[in-house]
Structure 1
């Protein structure tokens, strides 16, 4: 049974009539997908276009293990104004695999293709037929925008960054996006069962799972490469190597002080309490060694404990999510 568009014709943000719609005889009716003059209005061409624009096959294959990268909570998406508060740079990316993926101070967001704002386009090409692109992926994608744009400030930021068309006003947006905010997780694609994803963890996970197959773009070494030339790649090791070198130098110096101190210091005419000074030097050197060992324990053990705590939290969220999806 064909599904109706989730929004009404009056709430559509793209009003262009299509040759396949009720206004096919109109001289202004489009013979191509809105904003895509090279995409003919045939089921195959539109399905190929939507696959290029929204397909997240790699994340879908990694889905059972995505809880290691983020909490299984589709609402964990910061609004655009909050991204700015967190000092993140919003980067418009046309790669659907990078939608809502963040790395350090950047977050990648896929702009909305104008065709998805057209009522007739939904009615003809996103009505749930087997030969069409998976409607649930499109529903999840637009639902994510329901979280990204929650206030007038968010809409202004979205227009500024080129994420939505410039001619949209706040009331129009709210009427259009309202039905998508009501969607449940079992109504959207697998990737949209989660919210924002951390790129550094995706890069680790893809090396373990190796989900890319022959013909897929990219390699299993990176989900998305962050270093594009050798110098920047090597520079990231400079800090840790410098810390290790300084630690080893301090360790050897402290050990040298301990070994060179005699057990019964000789009497020096210019030092009144030479034995006490030797004991102080020995105690200070041992304290340095203990402090150095404690620093390494914090440096290595701290992140491990933090990572384990995060994974336990992620696993608990995954169990709760599966209970919510269970019939």
Structure 2
């Protein structure tokens, strides 16, 4: 425990207690027609000097110090509240959020979701929880139990980073998941790597046969998009469409992509996007691992 790490733990604990962390949202779109269909909530910790500590750094610290439970609670609370606001404003998009492997033993998470759904009157079908393939494999019993309880509430379940773990096809049939997210390590080389193409095509076919949607992560080029579309992949997420955005930036992006998405006109712009786009975070900054 270096002095720097101990200082980081103390600052992170204060940030969680004070609600100083916030979410950005990366859009997801239907590959068939490009319509926005959802967002992934991504935690951000902005420092007083404007710099951002990478989630890969502080989430790991949270997992090893017991702070992950407070951090996850904060993410869930902010994401569900935002989903409820967008629903009230006529934005029919779902919000997905990530759970850590360390959350699988925390039964209170399901109760937290249930309380927030009742408090905000948000349709549970607009909420989706992402668990990495490796997290579920490492704690299969707890993972499947957690997934079933969340499904009973009406939430969607996504297996994130699919293809990077060691799961077998028979194992996949046991999971009460509604969605598979293909890891970007297969999407990036697929236009030139035949093996990657085979993995992606097989995953799409397998998921569909099990009644799951398929999301491709890290889509950055038109060629990747076209190939995924031809393979029948359902949803894409990546820099080709948008980086993770602040709330206002996302709403601007949604307005530009699909004006009919939002019925309310109370918060719409008059067309002068320049300065406000910058304040809203467009095009936005993100870590390469979140493309």
TM-score (norm 2): 0.26
Q: Which has the larger radius of gyration?
A: 1
Give the structure, 1 or 2, with the largest relative contact order (CA under 8 Å, sep 6 or more). 1
Q: Which has the higher strand share?
A: 2
